Amino acid sequence: MLEDLYQELIIDHGTQPRNKREIENCSCQAKGHNPLCGDKISVFLKVDNNKIIDAAFIGEGCAISMASASIMSEALKDINKDDAIALMNKFTSCLTKDENSDQLPMKLQALAGVKQYPMRVKCATLAWHTFKAALNNNDAVASTE
């Protein structure tokens, strides 16, 4: 069931990424690079009163990296920064520490299925690491490259 959803999500979000755009006057942004696969993305956030009111990205990479950034941009919208960081920690722990993914939103649970393909885990976590880098440089323009 989750495996079918995983395939669907990668195809759907990978071929038609949501929020693939720049945000003018964003609060913060960062660039991320996954040299293992060649994925490159920039994440843009608009934050107001600790709440993420808009999240978007641009970049080029494999279907998994694009799908992950797309799903992330949807998951981050309209939640507060602390919840977003908690979500990131939970998602990346599921991929790298084999933590149970039951408490994640359904799409992220499905995406966490990528852990069956260890070579692709960094493709799926790139967007989230870039998001965190952006947030850590709040109100500034930063690059993690």
Residues forming contacts to Zn ion in the complex (CB under 5 A) are: 37, 39, 62, 65, 123
Q: How far is the CB of 67 from Zn ion (least distance, A)?
A: 10
Burial class from Cβ neighbours inside 10 Å (0-12, 13-18, 19+) for residue 128 reads: buried
Q: How far is the CB of 123 from Zn ion (least distance, A)?
A: 3
Pick the closer one to Zn ion by CB: 17 or 26: 17
Phi, psi of 139 (to 5 degrees): 65, 15
Pick the closer one to Zn ion by CB: 26 or 43: 43
DSSP 53-73: EEEEEEEE--HHHHHHHHHHH
Q: How far is the CB of 10 from Zn ion (least distance, A)?
A: 11
Pick the closer one to Zn ion by CB: 28 or 71: 71
Pick the closer one to Zn ion by CB: 46 or 122: 122
Q: How far is the CB of 43 from Zn ion (least distance, A)?
A: 16
Strand order in the sheet with 39-48: 28-34, 39-48, 51-60, 79-80
Q: How far is the CB of 47 from Zn ion (least distance, A)?
A: 27
Going by C-beta distance under 8 Å and a sequence separation of 6 or more, which residues neighbour residue 124?
A: 64, 65, 68, 95, 111, 112, 114
Pick the closer one to Zn ion by CB: 16 or 50: 16
Element (H, E) at 88: helix 81-96
